[in-house]
Amino acid sequence: MSIRLGLHRRTGPGVGARSVLAGAVVATLLFGTTAANAGPGSATRADDLDGLRGLAAKRGLLIGSAVYNPPLLGDARYRALLAREFSAVSPGNVMKWDTVEPERGMVDLTAADHMMRFASGHRQIVRGHTLVWHNQLPYWLTQKTWSDADLATILEKHVKEEAAKFRGRVYAWDVINEPFNEDGTWRETIWYKALGPGYVAKALQWAHEADPRAKLYLNDYNLEWNTAKADAMYALVSDLRERGVPVHGVGFQGHLGIQYDYPAPVIDHLRRFTGLGLDVAITEADVRMPLPVTDAKLATQADYFGRLLSACLAVRRCVSFTIWGLSDAHSWVPGVFAGQGAATPYDHDLRPKPAYAELREALRHRVAGSER
């Protein structure tokens, strides 16, 4: 599971480019793989067109899932579900720094390449996650004292090398992950302390130099409801765009919990960023609940999932909706929130829950006030 600390409630391209993406989704992803590549669960049969992948393609939306453990791709049922229902995948952990460079100068992309091959074989888009974060850093980096100049050099090398390794194969990168505290102040990470707030612009520029065609995102949690954090992100991306720094989108992680009210401001917050000419995406959606599971809790969860997806569908430049963990068996939630879990649309046995049906319904129906 993804190790995530300090969370509160777990937690571009122009219009023409957006239209091109939508067309590509409909024309290519709707039908999944070619017959030559088709395997169990490939989205090629007519009955698959009524699943999440087929319905999302008709709406010009990428529908994704995080993949935590690439060896699970050897499990026929897991592989079939991932291929049939999703047009995009995000690496849960295997592109994070501690995995790709566990020892300094020794890059290991074995797990990431495994996932990339699966995605390529099933015509799935890959969202890279993540280049710069304050967690899951390699031991060799965190257990030594470095000068600010050393850290700048190390970070530049990492961003450029990893982005270059996947050049042309990753549709978008979460270049910066979780830069702000809940009150909108800068999170004082190792990178902020060494380079100040300028580390964001530097990392974006380095990533762009390494892979000029990749869409570059800033990604954070609670942006869907926390005005202070959303304001800070808005001010940052506004400044970056004014200075010509390459930034193309903002990721709203979308970690919700049924014990909290549904975040009503989410559509307004999404549209605020698209007003800057940016794409937005729901990047890590899940809806956790206090255990044990009950029918009433599942109904509330389904409602939250449906409303979150509908919010994305209502915004023209909300380009993707990604569920964070394929099923409850692959969710990070129980390991971080004691007594909570069951956060995904599929149960531990990969059976669809009411949330799955609600997601399909959201994709079938035009949202009132929708821009698409």
The answer to whether the Cα torsion of 46, 88, 55, 301 is positive or negative is: positive
161 catalytic, yes or no? no
Q: Buried (b) or exposed (e) across 10-23, using 16+ Cβ within 10 A? A: bbbbeeeebeebbe
Catalytic residue chosen out of the listed positions 101, 162, 178, 358: 178
What CA–CA distance (Å, rounded) separates 330 from 67? 8
**Active-site pick, 85, 101, 162, 284:** 284
Q: Confirm if 171 and 214 have CB atoms less than 8 A apart.
A: yes
| Measured distance CA(24)–CA(227) in Å, rounded | 34
| CB hemisphere CA count around 35 (13 angstroms) | 0
Annotation marks residue 178 as catalytic: yes
Structure tokens at 273: 């960023």
Residue found under tokens 């549709």: 171
Catalytic site positions: 178, 284
